[in-house]
Amino acid sequence: MESQERMTDNDIIKAMECCLNKTIHDYSCESCPLKESECMGGWVLMKAAFDLINRQKAEIERLQHIRAELSRENDSLKVDIESACKLLEAKREEERREHEKMIGDLKELASLIPSTIACKKAEAVKEFAEKLKDYVDDLTIHPYTEGVVPCIKAKIKQIAEEMTEGEDASDFEV
C-alpha cells in the first residue's frame, strides 16, 4: 500500500496497462511501476485504480458544478446586458427626439429673424422720423420758415417710406 500512495495517476494507468498485457499476452511485470512484490495479486492496483476513478469522478462533478455556476452567471449577464442595451436605446431615442425638437425650434427662430430685423429697422426709422418731425415742428414758430416746413415734412415722410419699404411709414403723419 505504500507504493500506491507514491504512485502518480500516470503510474497507475501504466501499471493497469502492464497488468492487462500480462494477462492477455503473458508479458512480464518488468516495465510496471508497481513491482510484482508490491502488487499482491492486483489488489493494490485495483485499489489505486478505484481511488483514481473516484478522484476523477469528484473532479468532474466539481467542474460540472463550476460550469453550471458560470452558465447561470452568463445567463444573468446576458439579461443585464439586454436590459442595459434597451435602456441605452431608449435614452438614444429620447436624445434624438430632443435634438429634432431643438432643430425645429432653431429653424422657427431663424425664420423670425428677418421679420424681426425689418420690424426693428422700421421702428428705428419711424422713431428717427418722429424726432426729425418734432424738430421741424419747432421751426414753424419762426416766421421766415413758414413755407418751407410743409415741404420738409413731406420729404421726411417720403424718406421714411423708402427706408421702411412702406412698412409702418403710413402711421407717420406729417
What is the tens place of the pLDDT at every residue in 48-79? 889 999 999 999 999 999 999 999 999 999 99
How would residue 1 be classed by pLDDT, with cut points 50, 70 and 90?
A: very low
Instruction: Report the pLDDT value the prediction gives residue 66, as an integer from 0 to 100.
Output: 97
Please report, for the chain, the start and end positions of each structural domain, with discontinuous segments joined by +.
2-171
Looking at the chain, which runs of residues are DSSP E strands? none
Instruction: Report the pLDDT value the prediction gives residue 144, as an integer from 0 to 100.
Output: 67
Stronger pLDDT, 88 or 161, i.e. the higher one? 88
Closest Cα to residue 32, out of 8, 52, 9, 12? 12
Instruction: Report the pLDDT value the prediction gives residue 173, as an integer from 0 to 100.
Output: 59
Which range scores top for mean pLDDT: 22-26, 55-59, 132-136? 55-59
**Alpha-carbon gap, residue 78 to 130, rounded angstroms:** 76
Burial of 115 (0-12, 13-18, 19+ CB in 10 A): exposed
